[in-house]
Structure formats: C-alpha cells, structure tokens
Amino acid sequence: MGSVKHHAVEIRDAKTREKLCFLDKVEPQATISEIKTLFTKTHPQWYPARQSLRLDPKGKSLKDEDVLQKLPVGTTATLYFRDLGAQISWVTVFLTEYAGPLFIYLLFYFRVPFIYGRKYDFTSSRHTVVHLACMCHSFHYIKRLLETLFVHRFSHGTMPLRNIFKVSTLFLSCPLTISGPRRSYGVQQVKLALAIFVICQLGNFSIHMALRDLRPAGSKTRKIPYPTKNPFTWLFLLVSCPNYTYEVGSWIGFAIMTQCVPVALFSLVGFTQMTIWAKGKHRSYLKEFRDYPPLRMPIIPFLL
C-alpha cells in the first residue's frame, strides 16, 4: 500500500502577509475547521471562532466544512488569516437581547422606587390597556426567549461581541406605554390592535417552526422554504422573510394599541432594519437557488 500524500499549509496574515504558522503533514481530507484547530495550538489567542481563513487576502472566508484536497491549492497551500475579534454565542446574544427589554419594561410597569416619585411607587395604572400592553410585551419576549432555547438553529455558532451593542438597541422598546398615559382608548381600536398583535405573533412563531424543520439538527444545509399546511406559512408564497413581516405587524398592532409615539418610531426603525436583513437574505436565496420562486419579495408582498 502506498503512503498517503500529506499537504503542507502555510498561514499568513491577510493584512501584512506575515507568515504566522506552517503546518506540516496535514491530511488531505482535513477540513478548514480542523486546520483552524491546528492553528490555535500555535496561537491560542485566536480560537477557531475568531478565525477567518481564505485563499486570497481579500477573498471570502472558507467554510468550516470545506475539505483541503478539494480546494484549488497544491500540496503546499497558502491560507490567509483575519481575526474576527472576540466572539459570543448567538444563543447568549439573543437571550441578552430579549431578557433585557423584558426586565426593563417590568421595572416601569411595577413602578419600582427611584423611577417614579414616591407616591407612585408600586402603584397600578387605572388604564386597562396598560396592563394589556404589558401582557403583550411580556408574551412577545418570553416567546422569543423560549424560541432561542428550543426552536432556533443557528448556521453560525457565534458573532462578534461588538455587534451585540448594535443589535440590542433594536429590541429596546418604549416604557412610556406603562406610565399611565393621559389619553382615551377606543374599545374597538384596542380590540383590533390586539387581534393584529396576536395573529402576527402566531404567524411569526409558525414561520420559525417551519424554518426549524427545514434544517435538521447539526446541519448547515440550506433549502428553499416553502409553505406548509399551516395557513400562517402561506405568506412564503409572496415573501422570502415572512417572520420579519409578522414581526413588524406585531409592533404596528402594539403601537395602535398603546398610541405611543416612541413605539411607532421603534416600529419604523425595526421595519427599516428588518428590511435590510430581508433584502440580504432574499439576494442570498436568489444567488444560491436558480429555481427560487420569482414572485417573492423580501418582506412586503408585491412591493418591497
């Protein structure tokens, strides 16, 4: 039997081109993930999640599952390294983002001391809609926390720690909705707003479940999402990211219910950010799948 022909891997800094590491006798079947682990042994400060390895200094990052012998390299491969910065798990990110707004909102709802004047400490608002809004807000974020723990599957295990501060601001909402606002609330208005909120929450959860079922546990395989027997998923016929559509709808319902201008502004900011995310995912789908349904728009049917 002939001996296995090993590869040599040279890792250089993508910015300075400085030689960082030389790995001898690397198995041809080795994955990028395994090469990252070998690199970490010589540079412990750069654990695998921080590493981006690429064939060209300005090229795209190689996937962890890419196999060395299938890459366009010879028996001596040169890979370029970029430091992605300190990383944090996506689960931790979302738990932090959702627990924060839930906790802050409840502090205002229960009128804890030092937030309001002494005579208002732990007093209850006379507005029924204030209590209804608190229940809706709490339900939304508790649902998000549970989905993070038991539903979502993340294609990337981590994200840069610095990004948590940018993303977190999107999920902080208006505590003025629980401060006992001096305005009148129409019964029909509140009922309509509550119906919009509940329907959109159910829709959002349905989409998350459909996306979860699309990707088996431990898999990074991407597939085109299609409607299921659940009517809430039929929005997939018209948009690529109906979870964002339902999310925006929930906050619109919440804004109508509370008549809170900051919530309306929050909804607008959230819609703007989710539109950016939806457009990015839509472009990714179009690029990856040639048979992607042509009628779909990123977030709003027929428009956007």
Residue span of the structural domain in which 277 resides: 88-288
Query: Does 226 map to a domain?
Result: yes
Q: Output the CA angle 135-138-140, nearest 5 degrees.
A: 105
Query: Does 249 map to a domain?
Result: yes
Say if residue 160's pLDDT is above 50: yes
Query: Does 247 map to a domain?
Result: yes
Look at residue 165 in the predicted model and tell me its pLDDT: 55
- Report the domain count for the chain: 1
For 52-111, what is each residue's pLDDT tens digit? 999 999 888 898 888 998 999 888 899 999 988 877 766 677 777 788 888 888 888 888
Look at residue 1 in the predicted model and tell me its pLDDT: 43
Say if residue 253's pLDDT is above 80: yes
Dihedral angle of Cα 296, 299, 303, 304, to the nearest 10 degrees: -110
Query: Does 235 map to a domain?
Result: yes
The band of 148, judged by pLDDT with boundaries at 50, 70 and 90, is confident
Torsion-angle region of 104 (φ positive above 0: left; ψ -120 to 50: alpha; else: beta): alpha
Look at residue 184 in the predicted model and tell me its pLDDT: 57
Query: Do 48 and 156 contact (CB within 8 A), yes or no?
Result: no
Query: Does 11 map to a domain?
Result: no
Look at residue 180 in the predicted model and tell me its pLDDT: 47
Query: Does 21 map to a domain?
Result: no
Whole-structure pTM value:
0.69
Query: Does 12 map to a domain?
Result: no
For 212-247, what is each residue's pLDDT tens digit? 988 776 666 788 999 999 999 999 999 999 999 999
The band of 182, judged by pLDDT with boundaries at 50, 70 and 90, is very low
Q: What is the mean pLDDT of residues 164-184?
A: 51
Query: Does 236 map to a domain?
Result: yes
